Chain A
Amino acid sequence: MELVQIQRRLVDYTKSLFMEGFLDAQFLQLQQLQDDSNPDFVFEVVSLFFEDSEKLLNELTIALDQPNVDFKKIDSHVHQLKGSSSSIGAQRVKNACIAFRNYCDVQNIEGCLTCLQQVKQECYLVKNKFETLFRLEQQIMASGGSVPTIELGF
């Protein structure tokens, strides 16, 4: 595929992620922080997020499986996940965390379990989206091109 076509594909794909709510404006903030001195910044931050979120999701699974559920602990983990997901612009993960916290507040175990599944699903989905995004970027760089920037005016 020609360089121009891949670049076009990347732009369209990124826009679709915003349209579908996977990403929000915070992701653009991250992209703006990336520069020549730190060309892999977005990739590094996103990778760090998935590393951390996997641990948090494991902790949450274990915590909800206890005979006496510690809702304070669960709330703390979900809060952290909400903060980190919002910091990278992973909107749907963040929103799933908000719903999760509401069930946690009223100590509804079933609700929490459903939300945990939801959060796991959203993390899985956005992880795949990011992988595609980074793959397209790599293809562009490998062809000697530069990654096009997204304007928020669409």
Chain B
Amino acid sequence: MNSSNGNGSMSTASSSGAWNGRDQFPAGLRVLVVDDDQTCLMVFEKMLKTCLYQVTKCNKAETALSVLREHKNEFDIVISDVHMPDMDGFELLKHINSEMDLPVILISADARKQVVMKGVTYGACDYLIKPVRIETLKNIWQHVVRKKARNTF
């Protein structure tokens, strides 16, 4: 799954979307990470790969949305920056929540309470402040399990 165009680009670590083998969990967790800043995106990708997750990165929200629409059920969780040109993290979150059943984590350097509040009320399962430490990313699988558990009961 590799595509690039003039408007946005994405790249993925592996072409197989399948995650099986519960004993390896959370290794292989399929993460889509969205950030328009390439420095941040590079750091996130490396951290997530170090967590043994399967990482796909996007630098535009619109690209991320089309990837999610085209490859439904091939992702476990989305991590998105809040402040992005064109479509921002809140809008992406709204689309994802209305169209699919994926946990979304918002990330920002903006720690102002009203912005965090907005993220939470819009339905983000977590809101992380940059810079994000790898220890935090090691725990994101909990959101996937929690969401699945809620859907089951």
Contacts and interface: CB of A to CB of B under 8 A. Distances in A.
Interface residues of B, number: 20
A38 B36 CA distance: 23
Contact of A29 (B38, B40, B134): B134
Interface string B31-61: 0000011111011001100100000000000
A41 B130 CA distance: 19
B109 A86 contact: yes
B83 A30 contact: no
A44 to B, nearest CB: 7
Contacts, number: 57
Q: By DSSP majority rule, is chain B's interface helix, strand, loop, or mixed?
A: mixed
Interface in A31-55: 32-33, 38, 41, 44-45, 48-49, 52
A82 B109 contact: yes
B91 interface: no
A88 interface: yes
Given A48-B38, A79-B83, A84-B40, A33 B46 contact: yes
Contacts of A33: 43, 46-47, 50, 134
Given A82-B109, A83-B109, A84-B39, 10 more contacts: A26-B131, A33-B46, A33-B134, A45-B42, A48-B39, A49-B39, A52-B39, A84-B40, A86-B130, A88-B43
